[in-house]
């Protein structure tokens, strides 16, 4: 069914889901508490994984405490206002005590300014462009609230032109990168988290000024592995009904790997993509792993 597949609407040039654009003034005016923690990502870069890590860190690795509710109810999605049954982030936060773990996909310039006025801790997660796109493609196939992805070949072009929901991946990763020092943003990479999850969990812990025992850190690393999260009904988005997230098309917890792009890009597509990528990324030196 294409019940929820509305066209995107631009906000200051960024294509967003239409209900976000229609509620823009409310979103822009949102005032977080200074203790709130923002997790910012381009869609499909490792948001849910990071949300789970932070929730466990704040709960000293207590697995049961972090099964109190599904991810979107524990960690509100700032700009999602409707449609049901996706929970409206701002409404949810009215009934939650800070510190709240707030998810956003907004590009840096669209983050409500009160986050910076209040110096909220912000964790940005970036994922290499090709895997990020592959994950987004499968998500757009299964998520009936996003526009139809169309054929893969055309999807690559849309990604390169920044026409997907939340706009250009290139501008997104660059926007936060340029601001990371001034705004004290912890800038993480999905590939680093896969390579050495313990090291990255410890980086997040230190950034949040927490100090947990080695044993608790080990438990958090274990509980946030792809295999465990895939089976955790409070972390795997099985809370979203199948007419909205159609798991038979592709599960939310799909593969959780680095390099799955190799199963999707032809050599020609890869070459064309790389040439364009180099042009778009040459003004920054973000240490993405080279994926050839
Ligand atoms: S969303 O909708 O933007 O919030 O999605 P997001 O959570 O950012 O990204 C989903 C992808 O992250 C993978 N994932 C994980 N990988 C490794 N370890 C863990 N624990 C984990 N949890 C989620 C998920 O499988 C999606 O990637 P793909 O490549 O599609 O499998």
pLDDT digits (tens, 9 = 90+) for 88-117: 899 999 999 999 999 999 999 999 999 999
pLDDT class of 85 with cuts at 50, 70, 90: low
Residue with CA nearest ligand 1 atom 30: 135
Task: Quote the ligand 1 centre to 117 CA distance (angstroms).
Answer: 30
* CATH code reported for the domain at 22-281: 3.40.50.300
Task: Report ipTM (2 d.p.).
Answer: 1.00
What's residue 81's pLDDT? 80
pLDDT class of 289 with cuts at 50, 70, 90: confident
Percent with pLDDT over 70 in the chain: 96
The response to whether residue 250 sits with its C-beta less than 6 Å from ligand 1 reads: no
For the chain, give the number of residues.
292
List the one residue out of 136, 139, 147, 107 whose CA is nearest residue 27: 107
Domain spans, the chain: 22-281
* Residue 105 known to be catalytic: yes
- The enclosing H or E element of 76 equals none
Rounded to an integer, what distance in angstroms lies between the CA atom of residue 168 and that of residue 8?
A: 14
Asked whether the predicted pLDDT for residue 1 surpasses 60, the reply is: no
Burial of 171 (C-beta count, 10 Å sphere; 0-12/13-18/19+): middle
Residue with structure tokens 């597509």?
269
Mean pLDDT for 117-121 is 98
Task: Quote the ligand 1 centre to 48 CA distance (angstroms).
Answer: 6
Q: Are strands 9-11 and 37-41 parallel, antiparallel or unpaired?
A: unpaired
Rounded to an integer, what distance in angstroms lies between the CA atom of residue 18 and that of residue 104?
A: 16
Please give the structure tokens belonging to residue 185: 């943003």
For a mutational test of ligand 1's pocket, the pick from 20, 41, 42, 48, i.e. the residue with the most ligand atoms closer than 8 A to its C-beta, is: 48
Mean pLDDT for 3-25 is 92
Rounded to an integer, what distance in angstroms lies between the CA atom of residue 212 and that of residue 57?
A: 8
């Amino acid at each position: 069914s294409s019940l929820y597949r509305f066209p995107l609407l631009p906000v200051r040039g960024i294509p967003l889901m239409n209900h976000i654009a229609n509620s823009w003034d409310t979103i822009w005016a949102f005032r977080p508490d200074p203790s709130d923690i923002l997790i910012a990502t381009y869609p499909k870069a490792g948001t849910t994984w990071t949300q789970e890590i932070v929730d466990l860190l704040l709960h000293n690795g207590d697995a049961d405490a972090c099964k109190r509710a599904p991810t979107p109810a524990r960690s509100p999605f700032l700009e999602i206002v409707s449609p049901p049954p996706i929970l409206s982030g701002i409404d949810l936060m009215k009934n939650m005590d800070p510190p709240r773990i707030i998810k956003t996909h907004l590009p840096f310039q669209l983050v409500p300014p009160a986050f910076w006025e209040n110096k909220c801790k912000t964790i940005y997660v970036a994922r290499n462009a090709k895997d990020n796109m592959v994950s987004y493609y499968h998500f757009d196939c299964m998520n009936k609230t996003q526009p139809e992805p169309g054929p893969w070949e055309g999807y690559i072009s849309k990604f390169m032109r920044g026409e997907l929901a939340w706009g250009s991946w290139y501008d997104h990763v660059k926007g936060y990168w340029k601001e990371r020092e001034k705004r004290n943003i912890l800038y993480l990479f999905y590939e680093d988290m896969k390579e050495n999850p313990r090291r990255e969990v410890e980086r997040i812990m230190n950034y949040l000024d927490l100090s947990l025992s080695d044993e608790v850190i080990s438990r958090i690393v274990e509980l946030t592995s792809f295999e465990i999260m895939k089976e955790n009904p409070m972390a795997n988005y099985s809370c979203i009904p199948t007419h909205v997230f159609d798991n038979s098309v592709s599960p939310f917890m799909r593969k959780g790997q680095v390099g799955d792009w190799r199963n999707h890009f032809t050599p020609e597509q890869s070459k064309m993509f790389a040439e364009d990528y180099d042009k778009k990324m040459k003004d920054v030196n973000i240490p993405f792993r080279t994926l050839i």
